[in-house]
């Protein structure tokens, strides 16, 4: 099933998308509510009994409001290209191969599949990132990859919008990214339940979904989701190590290779004149086989409110007795 959150007649509703229509559930509930109660599939079946509303008569929202968002970096080709773009150094650091790496991004920045994306305050180098996200359906701790598959509710497209200039400064401090990834994360157009994608699973356990990125109608990237270094089950197992994953948690695959973002293309020799950073008016369209299409327009942002630079470390100390006296 394709589970959607929509705005219909001014009210947020949950529905199941079929063709050009959406069957709306007749009770006030969110996708996160249904995941937490374990009722997502049953609610979907209930919704299918209703008469569909045309998709053109609703506004698609992000499929859910996730409590947490972890974003991994699971594509080797992306790591190699972006490293070249930022550091001028080729190759992939050995540590990347040892275990999946992720950061927590801002769940309050999640937006819908057709929403506008403001330029982050103070940024002049905005980029998109073509990813797929897995959504957790059942709570788990310290899971094995085999058990992790049982905890998957479904998948959705994920665009990790990135202010590359802010990100580059922040990561020189060996922490972050922070404001470089804090303005917008697109999820959508809906949540596709895990059973729908099983026909795409290859012999190695990966989902072989075609992924395409376009800027203003021009294809700039395409890849297969099965080029990930780890399948989603491994990412979930690692995320749950020593802690909990809970219903509604979102885990991004990281950006695909072969043009999954502008920074990778810049690192591989495409000039910024040929493919410049995103500007107001640009439209980024991401399509993933089996999941659908999202399209977001970049719009002007706001000017940053200045924050002063750090003061030099003071050298004075309070008077105190020596430790142990």
**Per-position DSSP letters for 150-215, written without gaps between them:** GGEEEEEEEEE-EEHHHHHHHHTTT----GGG-S-EEEEEEEEEHHHHGGGB-TTS-B--EEEEEE
User: Is it the case that residue 238 has pLDDT exceeding 80?
Assistant: yes
> What is the band of 286 on the pLDDT scale with cuts at 50, 70, 90?
very high
- Rounded to whole angstroms, the Cα distance separating 161 from 246 reads 24
User: Is it the case that residue 319 has pLDDT exceeding 80?
Assistant: no
Upper half-sphere CA count for residue 123 (Cβ side, 13 Å) = 32
User: Is it the case that residue 322 has pLDDT exceeding 80?
Assistant: no
Tell me the CATH number of domain 69-299, given options 3.30.365.10, 3.40.50.970, 3.40.50.720, 3.90.850.10: 3.90.850.10
> What is the band of 320 on the pLDDT scale with cuts at 50, 70, 90?
low
Q: What is the dihedral of CA 140, 144, 147, 149, to 10 degrees?
A: 90
Average pLDDT of the residues in 154-179: 94
- Rounded to whole angstroms, the Cα distance separating 286 from 289 reads 10
User: Is it the case that residue 325 has pLDDT exceeding 90?
Assistant: no
> What is the band of 318 on the pLDDT scale with cuts at 50, 70, 90?
confident
Count other C-beta atoms under 10 Å from residue 271's C-beta. Answer: 9
Token output for 236: 């979930």
Query: Collapsing DSSP states into helix, strand and coil, what is residue 11?
Result: strand
Cβ 16 vs Cβ 3: under 8 Å: yes
- Rounded to whole angstroms, the Cα distance separating 148 from 125 reads 37
Q: What is the dihedral of CA 270, 182, 108, 121, to 10 degrees?
A: -100
Say what percent of the chain tops pLDDT 70.
98
Q: pLDDT digit string (tens) for 49-84?
A: 999 999 999 999 999 999 999 999 999 999 998 887
pLDDT of residue 82: 86
Return phi, psi of residue 82, to 5°: -70, -35
User: Is it the case that residue 11 has pLDDT exceeding 80?
Assistant: yes
pLDDT of residue 86: 73
Domain with CATH 3.90.850.10 in the chain: 69-299
Q: pLDDT digit string (tens) for 188-237?
A: 999 999 999 999 999 999 999 999 999 999 999 999 999 999 999 999 99
Nearest to 240 by CA among 70, 67, 38: 70
């Amino acid at each position: 099933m394709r589970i959607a959150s929509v705005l219909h007649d001014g009210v947020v509703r949950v529905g199941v998308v079929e063709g050009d229509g959406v069957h709306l559930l007749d009770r006030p509930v969110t996708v996160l509510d249904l995941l937490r109660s374990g009722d997502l599939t049953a609610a979907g079946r209930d919704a299918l009994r209703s008469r569909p509303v045309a998709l053109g008569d609703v506004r698609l929202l992000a499929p859910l409001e996730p409590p947490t968002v972890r974003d991994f970096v699971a594509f080797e080709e992306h790591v190699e290209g972006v490293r070249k773009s930022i550091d001028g150094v080729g190759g992939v650091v050995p540590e990347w191969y040892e275990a999946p790496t992720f950061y927590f991004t801002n769940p309050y920045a999640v937006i819908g599949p057709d929403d506008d994306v403001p330029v982050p305050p103070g940024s002049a180098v905005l980029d998109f990132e073509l990813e797929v996200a897995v959504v957790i359906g059942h709570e788990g701790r310290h899971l094995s990859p085999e058990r992790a598959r049982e905890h998957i509710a479904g998948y959705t497209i994920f665009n990790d919008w990135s202010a590359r200039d802010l990100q580059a400064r922040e990561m020189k401090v060996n922490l972050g990214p922070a404001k470089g990834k804090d303005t917008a994360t697109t999820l959508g157009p809906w949540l596709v339940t895990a059973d729908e994608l099983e026909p795409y699973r290859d012999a190695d356990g990966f989902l072989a979904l075609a992924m395409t990125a376009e800027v203003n109608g021009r294809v700039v990237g395409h890849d297969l989701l099965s080029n990930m270094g780890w399948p989603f089950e491994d990412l979930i197992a690692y995320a749950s190590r020593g802690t909990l994953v809970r219903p509604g948690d979102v885990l991004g695959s990281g950006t695909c290779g072969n043009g999954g973002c502008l920074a990778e293309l810049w690192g591989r020799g495409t000039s910024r004149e040929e493919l410049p950073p995103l500007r107001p008016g640009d439209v980024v369209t991401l399509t993933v086989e089996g999941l659908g299409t999202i399209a977001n327009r970049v719009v002007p942002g706001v000017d940053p409110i200045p924050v002063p630079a750090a003061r030099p470390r003071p050298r004075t100390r309070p008077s105190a007795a020596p430790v142990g006296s």
